[in-house]
Amino acid sequence: MFDESAFKSLIQDAVKEALSQQDNQLFHGYADVKQFIKISGISENDMERKVLSHPAFEHCVCRFDGSMKRYIHIRKGLDALDKILIKESI
């Protein structure tokens, strides 16, 4: 026989751990500039010099009051980046 109480506790702990790991991997909608560079594949140089200052991209970037760190709405940022790249290539 086995200890049913210990087995239930073991399963509950495993589920809690799996859920906490899953929460860390979920897509939340915003990324800092370094994360956005990884997601989009654009170079850091192009991001800093061409994209972040582009008027079509500025609405995708936000900051907390008093903070220098920039956050980018990923879906809007990727859409804006796509439009910028299409215009630049024409």
- Cα of first residue to Cα of last residue in the chain, in angstroms, is 73
Helical (H) or strand (E) element with 23: helix 4-25
- On whether residue 6 sits in a domain, the answer given is no
Which tokens go with 81?
A: 């980046």
pTM score, whole prediction = 0.65
Q: What pLDDT shows up at residue 19?
A: 57
Report helix angle 33-40 to 74-89, nearest 10. Answer: 60
Which residue did the predictor score with more confidence, 11 or 31?
31
Whether 55 is in a domain gets the answer yes
Asked if residue 10 belongs to a domain, the reply is no
Half-sphere exposure (Cβ direction) of 61: Cα atoms closer than 13 Å: 18
- Position 56 scores a pLDDT of 93
Which tens digit of pLDDT belongs to each residue from 13-69? 777 776 555 444 444 589 999 999 998 999 999 999 999 999 999 999 999 999 899
Handedness of CA 61, 54, 84, 46 (dihedral sign): negative
- Residue span of the structural domain in which 52 resides: 27-89
Identify the weakest region by mean pLDDT among 3-7, 69-73, 82-86.
Answer: 3-7
